[in-house]
């Protein structure tokens, strides 16, 4: 029997933000079992954590179909649970398989600040075959990082109204693996037309079983420094404009590191029998 938490991340309200499952383990489970649990949960991510000898935690993330290299909202959900269950904790250190170390702290009002490595996108001169058709709306510029194609639009309205052809978009994302060894997701972004936010985005990951991700913390390690350069501002507030929606507070700390911060809300505590 395992204890599992379900948390809405990057929101202060239930049924908003992005839901993640969190399971804290004494010992790692077989990878196929973790994948099956994530499939059964059918959330965009299920996070598994195991304490290291130095009181830090190793974290791994699974979508319903794959283990992923980095997930921001499930990291936020995991930190929220660890702070909630261990009230003496003031800060956390997470280790990961692929993206280095995370340093996390919680403010008195519940805001959780996560320090991540910056993953700045670079200009992509050659547009992947089928991308324009899959998105259906011409864009201003195209960039890429290890995680995703970053598609820049001029106006927030274009981001809000876009309706991708997900079957064609999945093909584009899978074709990236043939070219450089990794599938790609797609994020679309533009300056916000609302005063409380600096920029908005939407995120599509059909190649890993997630058509539209409600809130994607990881991609803001690319979006926030990108828009920080455009606006010449180190601190930005972002809104991910999915149906559920979520708010991310972003701060550049150095040329290599940044904070992505947000709130979270506990939805469910459950027991699973495996």
Q: How far apart are CA 215 and CA 9, in angstroms?
A: 8
Q: In the predicted model, what is the mean pLDDT of residues 184-197? A: 97
On whether both 70 and 188 belong to a single domain, the answer is no
On whether both 233 and 110 belong to a single domain, the answer is no
Per-residue confidence (pLDDT) for residue 178, from 0 to 100: 63
On whether both 80 and 128 belong to a single domain, the answer is no
Q: To the nearest 10°, report the CA torsion of 228, 232, 233, 236.
A: -40
Encoded tokens for 218? 């990881």
On whether both 149 and 70 belong to a single domain, the answer is no
On whether both 15 and 112 belong to a single domain, the answer is yes
Give the Cβ contact number of residue 205 at 10 Å.
27
Looking up residue 102, the CATH number of its domain turns out to be 3.10.310.10
Q: What φ, ψ does residue 208 adopt, rounded to 5°?
A: -115, 25
Per-residue confidence (pLDDT) for residue 10, from 0 to 100: 98
pLDDT digits (tens, 9 = 90+) for 69-112: 999 999 999 999 999 999 888 899 999 999 999 999 999 999 99
How many distinct structural domains can be found in the chain? Answer: 2
Per-residue confidence (pLDDT) for residue 90, from 0 to 100: 83
On whether both 169 and 91 belong to a single domain, the answer is no
Provide the mean pLDDT of the chain.
95
Give the Cβ contact number of residue 116 at 10 Å.
26
Say what percent of the chain tops pLDDT 70: 99
Taking alpha carbons only, the member of 236, 129, 130 closest to residue 189 is 236
pLDDT digits (tens, 9 = 90+) for 203-252: 999 998 889 999 999 999 999 999 999 999 999 999 999 999 999 999 99
On whether both 267 and 170 belong to a single domain, the answer is no
pLDDT over threshold 80, residue 180: no
Residues classed as catalytic: 45
On whether both 265 and 186 belong to a single domain, the answer is no
pLDDT over threshold 70, residue 39: yes
Instruction: Give the residue numbers spanning the domain of 102.
Output: 2-117+261-272
Give the Cβ contact number of residue 261 at 10 Å.
23
pLDDT over threshold 70, residue 41: yes
On whether both 225 and 165 belong to a single domain, the answer is yes
Per-residue confidence (pLDDT) for residue 53, from 0 to 100: 81
On whether both 49 and 170 belong to a single domain, the answer is no
Q: How far apart are CA 213 and CA 45, in angstroms?
A: 10
């Amino acid at each position: 029997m395992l204890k599992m938490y379900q948390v809405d991340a990057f929101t202060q309200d239930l049924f908003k933000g992005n839901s993640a499952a969190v399971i804290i383990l004494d010992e790692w489970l077989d990878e196929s079992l973790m994948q099956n649990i994530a499939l059964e949960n059918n959330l965009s991510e299920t996070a598994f954590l195991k304490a290291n000898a130095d009181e830090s935690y190793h974290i791994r993330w699974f979508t319903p179909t794959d283990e992923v290299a980095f997930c921001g909202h499930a990291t936020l959900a995991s930190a929220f649970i660890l702070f909630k269950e261990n009230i003496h904790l003031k800060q956390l250190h997470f280790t990961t398989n692929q993206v280095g170390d995370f340093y996390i702290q919680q403010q008195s009002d519940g805001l959780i600040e996560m320090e991540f490595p910056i993953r700045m996108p670079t200009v992509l001169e050659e547009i992947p075959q089928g991308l324009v058709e899959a998105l259906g709306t011409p864009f201003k510029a195209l960039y890429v990082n290890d995680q995703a194609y970053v598609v820049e639009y001029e106006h927030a309205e274009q981001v809000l109204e876009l309706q991708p052809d997900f079957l064609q978009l999945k093909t584009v994302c899978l074709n990236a693996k043939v070219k450089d060894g990794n599938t790609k997701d797609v994020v679309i972004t533009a300056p916000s037309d609302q005063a409380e936010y600096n920029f908005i985005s939407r995120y599509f990951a059909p190649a890993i079983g997630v058509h539209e991700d409600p809130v994607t913390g990881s991609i803001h390690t690319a979006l926030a420094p990108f828009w920080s350069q455009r606006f010449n501002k180190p601190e930005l507030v972002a809104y991910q404009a999915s149906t559920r929606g979520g708010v991310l507070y972003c701060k550049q700390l150095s040329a290599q590191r940044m904070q992505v911060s947000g709130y979270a809300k506990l939805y469910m505590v459950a027991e699973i029998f495996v």
